[in-house]
Amino acid sequence: MYELLRSVLLDPFAIMNSVGLVAFALVGAAKAIREEFDLFGITVVGLVTAFVGGATRDVLVGRIPLALSSMGEITLGMVGVSLAVALHLVLESPDDHPITVVSDAIGLAAFTTAGAIVAVETGVSSFGVVAIATINAVGGGAFADILLDRSPFILVTDFYASCAVLGGTTYWLLAVAFGAGSVAAALCAAVTVGTRLYAVRFGLHLPTAQSVGAAVDGRFGNGSK
Amino acid sequence: MYELLRSVLLDPFAIMNSVGLVAFALVGAAKAIREEFDLFGITVVGLVTAFVGGATRDVLVGRIPLALSSMGEITLGMVGVSLAVALHLVLESPDDHPITVVSDAIGLAAFTTAGAIVAVETGVSSFGVVAIATINAVGGGAFADILLDRSPFILVTDFYASCAVLGGTTYWLLAVAFGAGSVAAALCAAVTVGTRLYAVRFGLHLPTAQSVGAAVDGRFGNGSK
Amino acid sequence: MYELLRSVLLDPFAIMNSVGLVAFALVGAAKAIREEFDLFGITVVGLVTAFVGGATRDVLVGRIPLALSSMGEITLGMVGVSLAVALHLVLESPDDHPITVVSDAIGLAAFTTAGAIVAVETGVSSFGVVAIATINAVGGGAFADILLDRSPFILVTDFYASCAVLGGTTYWLLAVAFGAGSVAAALCAAVTVGTRLYAVRFGLHLPTAQSVGAAVDGRFGNGSK
């Protein structure tokens, strides 16, 4: 037990993966509670949100998903689901509560880092590292949205997936410059959670093609009229 | 031919997989007929419903999907699609007909068992066995629903996926206690089809977090008011 | 550089895959521009449309997706996205423009051929070749539609996926009869793009089960009335 705990604390992947599993299972289950699903449905949405991103990562790099082979993953997932049910018994609407919003940002950062670590180990391209980090971070929530028949596109448009892209890029740059490890992992997580919480607080938006078109028209188009 | 038939009859996976393919292709095609799709669309929905669960199972355990390498799978799938078209020519609305409802329960049970057999052979965790059995059973119908832009969540909330979870758990318990084999397969299928038909007949529901909250309030909350 | 170009020009898979990546990234990005997504969202929809079909093909045949390991894929994808943004600055609505419609037909044909080539190399069944060719061709667009919460079923009902099925069947027949190679690839692409453009021009439809039922009634049912 002590050995296990020690190996987890010294392994950046294990730390990030564990944090992400609890945080995203909580977020997914809270979403299902708001939809008034039964306890089985709450558990399924919680576990899907926690597991699908990592399982997709593992399938893409040619491994059997960790969630299917390790009992640690399902244990941490059930902890997250139980926390969401407990929060519901204490709070009014856990889905909108700051605890859930912060959990979501933490889960996003933790899974971005876990995905980037696995991708760099596997030896994919720089784009592959950023893509796998982002899929690991966003895949579970997107799949849960698809199951719930909601457009997962809010994840792309709402400065959410872009935080994972920034974090994954950070990890890749640091891994190339100084080597993969705890420092790269900590900075990747910090960039992701920082940009996400900043975006939630200040409502960041990226330019659209329409606004680029308007800017181009404004600069070059006026003279000819 | 005789050898082939004999080997199928002695192989629980082959029996369950064959039954599931015909049953789910029929169910999927019947759904597409009700939506007035063309014959190509009917075939695609039938085959997707029959193949996607098993293909996902195979990808998760690191194998090339059986449906892509064996001609037996597509033959059985086309039998199911043809049965659905034949039923449509005879019956009014094959989608709601008891034949389709019973086929669906049989397909659910057969694919739960096929998934549990493969998962135990692969050597995943106990949760992995239940998860793969459930994905094998529910994956095809859920993916067909996503293609048809319907929420597949009815599969989770309507005591449907829970039958596969019960069946998969049964198989895992029996495999641990007495070893995997025909008896475990038969009991897994019986539990799944039995609970599913019971749920259809009597409209079973599971408790929601709201009802748990109400029960907790009722027991502990009243005294303080 | 010269060597690289030469090896691409002599490799049917590399040609078809490159053409498909640019064409589908353009089509996907044009769709996202019409929905007024931000530049990040446009890039994601473009890359998803370009990459998901081939990535699914690679996962199904047990390989790490090319898009994650080769920088060529992301470069070509970004070329397609940039073309879509450039078209938007020049044209009114690039999504409905003939350039986009023709790009889509070319991408469909190129990816059908790329999928058929990989499937024949892998040694799957005849159905496997047609299925993988079709998934390679249609998977990206279907996944983008799911992300955008639109039913991807138009791809099946609108004589779109059926063109990929015809092309894949052509490649398989030619590969069996004369061996896989540039001629089979060229004819596969020609059949797919030809049937698709013909279908767009003349609005082709396939019969439904209802019309088959009506035809059967008309032939056999009238006498008894």
Residue A91 has pLDDT above 90, yes or no: no
Of A124, A153, A208, the CB nearest to C147: A153
More confident residue, B38 or A222: B38
State whether A213 and C148 contact (CB < 8 Å): no
Residue among A98, A211, A111 nearest A161 (CA): A111
The residue of chain A with its CA nearest to that of B207 is: A38
Report the greatest alpha carbon distance in chain A.
Answer: 76
pLDDT band at A222 (very low <50, low <70, confident <90, very high): very low
- Residues A13 and B181: beta-carbon distance below 8 Å: no
pLDDT of residue C94: 60
Residue ranges of chain B with per-residue pLDDT less than 70: 1-9, 92-95, 153-154, 156-157, 205-207, 209-213, 215-225
Residue A156 has pLDDT above 60, yes or no: yes
Q: Cα separation of C205 and C199, whole Å?
A: 8
- Residues A112 and A137: beta-carbon distance below 8 Å: yes
pLDDT in tens, C196-224: 999 988 877 666 766 666 766 665 544 33
More confident residue, A180 or A102: A102
Residue A153 has pLDDT above 50, yes or no: yes
Residue among A47, A23, A17 nearest B130 (CA): A47
Mutate to test the interface with B, among C151, C208, C220 (most CBs of B within 10 A): C208
Subunits in contact with chain C (3 or more CB pairs closer than 8 Å): A, B
What integer is the mean pLDDT of C114-135? Answer: 96
DSSP tag of C191? H
Q: Cα separation of A39 and A89, whole Å?
A: 13
Q: Cα separation of C187 and B158, whole Å?
A: 48
CB-CB neighbors (< 8 A) of B44 in chain C? 156, 161
Residue A224 has pLDDT above 70, yes or no: no
Q: Cα separation of A110 and B105, whole Å?
A: 40
Mutate to test the interface with B, among A31, A38, A56, A63 (most CBs of B within 10 A): A38
% residues pLDDT > 90 (chain C): 64
CB atoms under 10 Å from CB of B191, counted, come to 21
pLDDT in tens, C92-117: 666 678 888 899 999 999 999 999 99
Q: Cα separation of A195 and A161, whole Å?
A: 11
pLDDT of residue B91: 79
Q: Cα separation of C142 and C150, whole Å?
A: 9
pTM: 0.89
The nearest CA of chain A is from the CA of B5 a distance in Å of: 32
Chain B contacts to A (CB-CB under 8 A): 59-62, 119, 122, 124-128, 131-132, 142, 146, 149-153, 156-157, 161-162, 165, 205-210, 212-213, 216
* Residue B82 CA, distance from chain mean position: 20
CB-CB neighbors (< 8 A) of C148 in chain A? 151, 153
User: By mean pLDDT, which of A109-113, C64-68, C92-96, C124-128 is the weakest?
Assistant: C92-96
Output C177-182 pairs: Cβ under 8 A, ≥24 positions apart: C180/C117, C180/C120, C180/C121, C181/C12, C182/C12
pLDDT of residue B223: 37
pLDDT of residue B89: 87
- Residues A39 and C42: beta-carbon distance below 8 Å: no
Chain C contacts to A (CB-CB under 8 A): 33, 36-42, 44-45, 55, 59, 62-65, 67-71, 73-74, 85, 88-89, 146-149
% residues pLDDT > 70 (chain C): 83
More confident residue, B84 or A203: B84
Q: Write phi, then psi, for C110 (nearest 5 degrees).
A: -65, -45
CB atoms under 10 Å from CB of B73, counted, come to 25
Region of C113 on the Ramachandran plot (φ > 0 left; ψ -120 to 50 alpha; else beta): alpha
State whether B156 and A40 contact (CB < 8 Å): yes
The residue of chain B with its CA nearest to that of C148 is: B149
What integer is the mean pLDDT of C61-81? Answer: 95
State whether B208 and A71 contact (CB < 8 Å): no
State whether B69 and C210 contact (CB < 8 Å): no
Subunits in contact with chain A (3 or more CB pairs closer than 8 Å): B, C
Which residue is it, tokens 């945080």?
A23
pLDDT of residue C6: 66
% residues pLDDT > 90 (chain A): 64
pLDDT of residue C222: 42
State whether A208 and C37 contact (CB < 8 Å): yes
More confident residue, B94 or A17: A17
| Single-letter amino acid, residue C221 | G
Which residue is it, tokens 């933490």?
A106
User: By mean pLDDT, which of A77-91, A110-124, C154-168 is the weakest?
Assistant: C154-168
CB-CB neighbors (< 8 A) of C93 in chain A? none
Would you state the structure tokens that stand for residue A68, as one six-digit string?
A: 């299917």
